[in-house]
Structure 1
């Protein structure tokens, strides 16, 4: 991560095949840091952005923003001081591109008796 951008929420990364990267970048309302290599584009998201979300294939969710290649380079610098791409719009875009229905975990509040 660039030293100039504070990553106070921790960092994870979502990998998207490169063939989808440019189209996603132009359609997302906000994009943080995006890295790429020849095969993948990596979107920086806050740590834990996989909680209650099933990221569809062929996307790849990387905890700690560890990517499987050393040849990544920064290709998009965010317009603000945040390195993050908001995970929900990114998730919905990935679902749309892959033709996958979003899979939300159901939140079921505990009853008053369980509290």
Structure 2
């Protein structure tokens, strides 16, 4: 028989797993993958960029092409090609979401003409920086 560690009984792995599951609370609004509207294709995969809803109307007029835009009460979401975060530091409070996983309450508020759902990521990045008063990372001075 193994002695219990100081301070309490010895717990089995099964007990620890069960206790961990009991502590979890189910998501009230579990995330889902944004769906591309019928008739559209996403050959490059999809990620999403979100900003607080109050900033959405400031960003959209600055874009040369607007792809699919989704919204919930708290955020506006733009579909971008997968891996659009490569070598880009999206400005806070923007959130880059791999796989376009968003709250289930998100709904489509803009559908572009054509079959491609993407907002071009570099113009979106620049529009976000401008709306947020942030300098793009590639324009910032380098310190030694």
Class of the TM-score when normalised by the shorter of the 2 chains: 0.7 to 0.9
Deviation (angstroms), 1:34 = 0.4
Mapping 1:21-32, distance limit 5 Å: 21-32=56-67
2:81 aligned with 1:46: yes
Matches of 2:122 and 2:59, distance apart in 1: 13
Matches of 2:43 and 2:62, distance apart in 1: 26
* RMSD across aligned positions (CA): 1.4
User: Runs of 5+ in structure 2 lacking a partner?
Assistant: 1-35, 139-144
- Out of 116, 124, 128, which is 1:90 matched to? 124
Q: Report the count of equivalent residues.
A: 104
Matches of 1:25 and 1:78, distance apart in 2: 13
Mapping 1:8-19, distance limit 5 Å: 8-19=43-54
Deviation (angstroms), 1:103 = 1.1
Computing the radius of gyration over CA atoms, which structure comes out larger, 1 or 2?
2
User: Runs of 5+ in structure 1 lacking a partner?
Assistant: 105-115
Task: State the Cα deviation string for residues 30-82 of structure 1 (Å, max 9, x = none).
Answer: 01000000110000000010000000100000000011x11000000012221
CA contact (8 A) 2:58 2:131 kept: no
Structure 1 or 2: larger helix share?
A: 2
Structure showing greater relative contact order (alpha-carbon pairs closer than 8 Å, 6 or more residues apart)? 1
Normalising by structure 1, we get a TM-score of: 0.85
